Amino acid sequence: MNTHQENLELREALSVAGLRYTAQREAVYQYLCSVSTHPTAEEVYQAVRQRIPRISLATVYKCLEALVACGKATKISSADGPARYDHRTDRHVHMRDLRTGEVRDLELPHELRLHDRLQAQLEDLLRQNGFRITDVRIELVGYFDKPYSNSSSAPA
């Protein structure tokens, strides 16, 4: 998708969610779309301030939360590290490195359809437990053979 199209869709999504379209939100979204590293807010801040020097970390946090609120990004929370952000909002599998916190996407062959199979098999059991499932998130944890040496300077 080209940048112009992405921006139009961002405008539309923010508007539907009752949120304002701002240059900062656009810059944060553009950066998020340009990387597959699932950056932390701090990493987004370091990158976006190259373009908008006066942007603050607090503003970057608010921009990211606005993107999540309008459905244009996903927040990946972690118990033992900062949250990361993903421009992908489709169902996909994450691999998380327990040492560095680095998160990468695992591209599954289509026929695996892990999310659909898991959700179908769990639904009855969850209902019996009084739990209504709304989503399935699959995160595999372990160690990459070749982690980025420092996740805060991960290549784009």
Q: Give whichever of 50 and 89 is closer to Zn ion, judged by the CB atom.
A: 89
42, 100 contact by CB (below 8 A):
no
Burial 84-122 (b: 16+ CB within 10 A, else e): bbbbeeeebbbbbbeebbbbbeeeeeeeeeebeeebeee
Q: How far apart are CA 58 and CA 97, in angstroms?
A: 27
Residue ranges binding Zn ion (CB under 5 A)? 86, 88, 105
Q: Give whichever of 49 and 88 is closer to Zn ion, judged by the CB atom.
A: 88
Judging by DSSP bridges, how do beta strands 93-97 and 139-142 pair with one another?
Answer: parallel
**Shortest gap between Cβ of 126 and Zn ion (angstroms)?**
24
**Shortest gap between Cβ of 15 and Zn ion (angstroms)?**
25
Q: Give whichever of 26 and 86 is closer to Zn ion, judged by the CB atom.
A: 86
Q: How far apart are CA 83 and CA 62, in angstroms?
A: 13
The residue of the chain with the least Cβ separation from Zn ion equals 86
**Shortest gap between Cβ of 134 and Zn ion (angstroms)?**
18
Q: Give whichever of 21 and 148 is closer to Zn ion, judged by the CB atom.
A: 148
